Homo-oligomer: A and B are copies of this chain.
Amino acid sequence: MKKIKVVQIGCGNMAKMTVSYALEKGAQIVGAVDNRPEIIGRDLGEVLGYDKKLGVTVSGDLAATLDTAYGDEKPNAQGKYNKFAIVTTTSLVNEVGATLKECARRGINTYTTCEEAHYPWLSAVTMAKEIDALAKEHGATITGGGYQDVFWGHEIVTLAGACHQITKIHGESRYNVDHYGIALALIHGAGFTTAEFEEKVAAPSRKTFQEFLVGMDEGTIEPGYSWTVNGWLAARLGLTIIDQVQECIPTFSPIDLYSSTLGRTIKAGDATGMINRATTKTAEGVEIVFDSIGSVYSPDDTDFNNWKIYGVPDCNVVNAEPATPEHTCATVVNRLIDLYAAPAGYITTNQLPPARYFASADSYVIEG
Which residues does A use to contact B, with CB under 8 Å?
21, 24-25, 147, 149-151, 154-155, 157-166, 237-239, 282, 284, 286, 312-323, 326-327, 329-331, 333-335, 353-360, 363
* A155-B155 in contact given A286-B359, A331-B162 (Cβ < 8 Å): yes
Sample 18 A-B pairs with CB under 8 A, ordered by A number. Answer: A24-B164, A25-B164, A150-B161, A155-B158, A155-B159, A157-B357, A158-B158, A161-B334, A161-B354, A161-B355, A162-B330, A164-B329, A237-B359, A238-B363, A316-B321, A317-B317, A353-B354, A354-B354
Contact, CB under 8 Å: B333 / A164: yes
Report Cα–Cα, A8/B356, bound state, in Å.
Answer: 35
CB of A318 within 8 A of CB of B315, answer: no
Q: Which residues of B contact A147 (CB under 8 A)?
A: 162
State the CA gap A315–B25 with chains docked (Å): 19
Q: Smallest CB-CB separation from A165: which chain B residue?
A: B24
List of B residues within 8 angstroms of A322 by Cβ: 315-316
A157 touches B237 (CB 8 A): no
A58 to chain B, nearest CB (A): 23
Cα(A151)–Cα(B355), bound, Å: 17
CB contacts (< 8 Å) of A363 on chain B: these are 238
Q: Whole-angstrom distance between the alpha carbons of A329 and B162 in the complex? A: 8
Chain B residues near A353: list those with CB within 8 A.
353-354
Interface centre among A162, A166, A315, A326 (most CB of B within 10 A): A162
The contact of A315 among B238, B327, B329, by CB within 8 Å, is B327
Known: A313-B326, A313-B327, A319-B315. A359 touches B158 (CB 8 A): no
Residues A330 and B158 in contact in the complex (CB < 8 Å), given A238-B363, A320-B318, A360-B284: no
When the two chains form their complex, are residues B163 and A327 in contact, meaning their CB atoms are under 8 A apart?
yes
The contact of A162 among B24, B151, B318, by CB within 8 Å, is B151
Separation of A227 and B272 alpha carbons in the complex (Å): 48
